[in-house]
Chain A
Amino acid sequence: MDILSSLALGFTVSLSPENLLYCFVGVMLGLFVGVLPGLGSAATIALLLPITYALGTTSAIIMLAGIWYGSMYGGSITSILLSVPGESATVMTTIDGYQMARRGRAGAALGMSVLASFVAGIIGLVGLVLLAPALADFALSFGPPEYFALTLVGLTLVSYLGTQSALKAAAAAVIGLLLGVVGLDPVEATSRFTYGTLHLQSGLDLVPVVMGLFGLAEVFNMIERRLAPRPEIVLPKGLKVLPSRDDWRRAAWPTAQGTITGFVVGLLPGAGATVSSYVAYALAKRWSRHPERYGKGEIGGVAAPEAANNSATGSGFIPLLTLGIPANVVMALMLGAFLLHGVTPGPTLMLKHPEVFWGIITSMFVGNAILLLIMLPLIGPISRITLIPDRITAPVITLICIAGVYGVNNNPVDIAVMTLFGAVGYLMGKFGYPAAPLVLAFVLGPIMETSLRQSLIMSHADFSIFVSRPVSGTLIGLALIMAVQPLVRAVMRAALRRSSRAGTPARESSDGGS
């Protein structure tokens, strides 16, 4: 089937009244949670996983995907108006967006964020349409060493990028892998870390873990922040959201550059929308003729990260749909949703379930168009969602967490597991450990272990199998470089600190002696 007929099939699926409704519901929910600081897209998708049981596979993924890219659009609103990012991927938008709002140019900043998001979202999807079939074909030749290398690179990247401490991110990833070990061993079916309980035989469920780490932990943080009231936002009357010709001229190149950066970075397992927005902002500033304007209300500083995070949402689907490897936490949840419906994403998805594959992709074109049509005229009223106080959102999130997590298996143990992971997530935040690597590693763990053990069995314990094959060799090399660099840097820094501490009194005494 060529691409055009595949797209035609996809649009037949995504434009059916039922899927159109779920797409609309998904993007509106995404928009809502994106605008609302606190509840992120990952937590919302985790909360809604049980509800998708009643839906078909395509409808479920269409709705969940809508939440993800919808949240990217919504997240920029609070970044611009309040300097409070609604999503981690819109942190960079706060820098210039908020400065523009302070100068009375909130409308242009909001309008440009929506338009750059739309343009990049559509281009990212075109890239997905063109690249996914080729990559799926290529991935059919992948064996266990390639899958092991892919998971290793994913976990190394998620530890290396977008975190303040690579050591802590790596530790979180290892804990995630250990949590993935709980249950029956995938090769010998031996019970591991189950403590004789039947509930743990099938392993820990993804939903309570994610809802605890992302949903409940955020409630705990809100409580500790004393449920701080949000500052009042003042939107100028007759908000003009269409950017001027000069705005377009200044934002065109950052939008294009952000789109490409977002697409490429979003492809990498472990990177995702947040990292892509950091990289795009840094590049836009570096390549600008007026880098001094960045940070002071430059419209390119809004366009570049917004383009990048939306472009990355499209390319982020490529590793999942073609390799079965989730590139980030949201994709890990999507994998969970696929598996709940008995569909395994990977190289054969396009062949076995073309209606699912192309239906999901084309729904994102539709969803982006819905978001553009809704946001441009209604951006003012939508912005007022930010006025909902934490003292309302915190109890509501708690209630939905209880209902959502219980609904997965009708098992109260899941509520206890969620609470435990909520406490763990709260403490992790306190001590500077990121939760995203833990969740990604938890999902990738079984794939990693199975492929590692299969590779060793295949090669009769010859570890060169991982480096002698071109794809796995390249990926392992990349992972090693990234893993070793921060470790060496940390050890060198500690040694330098010690030598400077030891050197200071010595110098003082020598000075005194002279």
Chain B
Amino acid sequence: MNGHEDAEPPEVRCGDRWSGAALGLLAAYVVLEALRLSFGTVSEPGAGFFPLLLATALFGLAAAITITARARGPGIRFAREARDVAALIGSLLVVAIFIDRLGFVLCAAAAMLLLLRTVARLSWPRSTAFAVAGALVVFALFTGLGVPLPKGLLLPL
């Protein structure tokens, strides 16, 4: 519940080497960025003061996490389904690019179709029906509640 690192599973404790290193790199990057800002003085701190302070703290924490990591063990494993996670991340980024041009219903239905086909493993007709119906219902709900969503190609009116 509080600082008991041993309460964590062994694979997570092994993964600490990688996450600690990543945090160290992030801290180093923030230091570089913060040095471009004015530090000011301690009596009149500038824009770079707080980020530099935080980066120092993060560096210390990263070092502590890396030092206390398990040296040997199974390490973090990603299930085969992690590929589906990556596919959904990709499809959401595609939605972000096209939503203004193609509209909410088309983009959201396409993302949902991917999820229903690859993850829920529904048939094409059922996936398509659920995806389109779901996107239309959410569109109607949000626009009905006063949250404007882009109409795009399918709902020009």
**Given A174-B57, A490-B64, 12 extra CB contacts under 8 A:** A51-B145, A167-B5, A181-B51, A190-B38, A216-B92, A404-B147, A430-B76, A431-B12, A431-B16, A485-B3, A486-B2, A490-B68
Q: Are B135 and A399 in contact (CB under 8 A)?
A: yes
Q: Are B54 and A181 in contact (CB under 8 A)?
A: yes
With A and B bound together, what is the CA distance between A403 and B145 in angstroms? 12
Question: 0/1 per residue, B102-142, Cβ < 8 Å to A?
Answer: 00100110011001100110100000001100110011011
Q: Are A171 and B61 in contact (CB under 8 A)?
A: yes
B148 neighbours in A (Cβ, 8 Å)? 407, 410
Tell me, yes or no, whether A308 is within 8 Å of chain B by CB: no
- Nearest B residue to A50 via CB reads B147
Tell me, yes or no, whether B79 is within 8 Å of chain A by CB: yes
With A and B bound together, what is the CA distance between A475 and B17 in angstroms? 33
What distance in Å separates the Cβ of B153 from its nearest Cβ neighbour in chain A? 16
Count A-side interface residues using an 8 Å CB cutoff. Answer: 76
Q: Are B30 and A456 in contact (CB under 8 A)?
A: no
Which residue, B41, B67, B150, has most C-beta atoms of chain A within 10 A?
A: B67
With A and B bound together, what is the CA distance between A165 and B84 in angstroms? 29
What distance in Å separates the Cβ of A328 from its nearest Cβ neighbour in chain B? 16
With A and B bound together, what is the CA distance between A452 and B40 in angstroms? 14
A225 neighbours in B (Cβ, 8 Å)? 81
Contact pick for A406, options B3, B62, B104, B131, CB 8 Å = B104
Q: Are A190 and B43 in contact (CB under 8 A)?
A: no
A415 neighbours in B (Cβ, 8 Å)? 92-93, 95-96, 99
A166-B2, A432-B8 given; A174·B67 CB < 8 A? no
Tell me, yes or no, whether A297 is within 8 Å of chain B by CB: no
Contact pick for A395, options B16, B97, B112, CB 8 Å = B112
Contact pick for A487, options B30, B64, B81, CB 8 Å = B64
Question: 0/1 per residue, A31-53, Cβ < 8 Å to B?
Answer: 00000000000000000001101
In the A-B complex, the 9 residue pairs with the smallest Cβ-Cβ separation, listed nearest first, are A486-B3, A166-B3, A54-B146, A407-B147, A461-B43, A391-B120, A415-B96, A185-B47, A190-B47
Tell me, yes or no, whether B45 is within 8 Å of chain A by CB: yes
Tell me, yes or no, whether A471 is within 8 Å of chain B by CB: no
B55 neighbours in A (Cβ, 8 Å)? 178
A171-B61, A171-B65, A403-B147 given; A461·B96 CB < 8 A? no
With A and B bound together, what is the CA distance between A120 and B139 in angstroms? 39
With A and B bound together, what is the CA distance between A50 and B122 in angstroms? 31
Tell me, yes or no, whether A245 is within 8 Å of chain B by CB: no
With A and B bound together, what is the CA distance between A419 and B16 in angstroms? 24
Question: 0/1 per residue, B4-39, Cβ < 8 Å to A?
Answer: 111111001001101100010010001001000110
Question: 0/1 per residue, B73-89, Cβ < 8 Å to A?
Answer: 00010110110110011
Q: Identify the stretch in A93-101, A155-163, A364-372 within 8 Å (CB) of chain B at 4 or more residues.
A: A155-163
B37 neighbours in A (Cβ, 8 Å)? 185, 190, 192
Tell me, yes or no, whether A460 is within 8 Å of chain B by CB: yes
B12 neighbours in A (Cβ, 8 Å)? 430-432
What distance in Å separates the Cβ of A218 from its nearest Cβ neighbour in chain B? 12
Q: Are B3 and A167 in contact (CB under 8 A)?
A: yes
With A and B bound together, what is the CA distance between A430 and B95 in angstroms? 26
Q: Are B62 and A171 in contact (CB under 8 A)?
A: yes
Tell me, yes or no, whether A227 is within 8 Å of chain B by CB: yes
Query: Would you mind naming 30 contact pairs between A and B with Cβ atoms under 8 Å apart?
Result: A53-B146, A54-B147, A174-B54, A178-B58, A181-B51, A185-B37, A193-B51, A223-B88, A224-B78, A398-B92, A399-B111, A399-B134, A403-B138, A403-B147, A404-B142, A412-B97, A412-B99, A416-B96, A430-B12, A430-B76, A430-B78, A431-B15, A456-B43, A456-B44, A460-B43, A485-B3, A487-B3, A490-B3, A490-B68, A493-B5
Tell me, yes or no, whether A394 is within 8 Å of chain B by CB: yes
A419-B96, A491-B64 given; A402·B104 CB < 8 A? yes
A164-B8, A171-B62 given; A403·B142 CB < 8 A? yes
Q: Are B119 and A396 in contact (CB under 8 A)?
A: no
Which residue, B12, B96, B104, has most C-beta atoms of chain A within 10 A?
A: B96
Q: Are A398 and B115 in contact (CB under 8 A)?
A: yes
